[in-house]
Amino acid sequence: MKSASSKDIKSALEHLSETELSALCLRLARFKKENKELLTYLLFQSQDETQFIQDVRQEICDSFSEMNDSNLYLLKKSIRKIIRQTEKHIRYSGIDSTAAELYMELLRNLKPYHIQISKSTVMRNMYASINKKLEKIISDLHEDLQYDFHKALRSIALDF
């Protein structure tokens, strides 16, 4: 089955009544966990972005504290999972400053694992990828925010 374009979907949604639209949203939420999470963000969390950032930061910290770091393989696997979860939250928000803060939190929590990161090429590449994404996001922000984020980034940067 070929899916319709965004334009076609938008025009079809404009012709639906309010009750039909809410029924469609509920049905959509029932089929995919990510759809339900996105609707939860849009309905309940998007009004208070600072609280959303705090919640995700806490989730990142909890994930790092529960992480299995008994060997390098499990450490890599756990960090990949945390990065996937964080990027999912970043996609939900779509705000650059939120993305920058969440990536900074990832880097802050990765800092204690510096020794294991420097031993593994895969870990260095994951760190470099996060750092590259963060630099790109920071370059798109307002100058004052750029300065603040660059200052914070220099304080947590790892040297290999």
From the list 57, 55, 45, the residue with the least C-alpha distance to 104 is 57
pLDDT in tens, 39-59: 889 888 989 999 999 999 999
* In-domain check, residue 34: no
Q: Which has the closest alpha carbon to 83: 130, 119, 49?
A: 130
Residue 17 lies in a domain: no
Domain that holds residue 128: 48-156
Domain count, the chain: 1
Q: Residue 91 falls within a domain, yes or no?
A: yes
Mean pLDDT of 80-92: 95
Q: Is residue 56 part of a domain?
A: yes
CB atoms within 10 A of CB 107: 17
Q: Is residue 28 part of a domain?
A: no
In a domain, 35, yes or no: no
Q: Does residue 15 sit within a domain? A: no
3-state SS, one letter per residue, for 42-103: HHHHCCCHHHHHHHHHHHHHHHHHCCCCCCHHHHHHHHHHHHHHHHHHHHHHCCHHHHHHHH
For the stretch 97-130, pLDDT in tens is: 999 999 999 999 988 887 777 788 988 899 899 9
**Residue 43 within a domain:** no
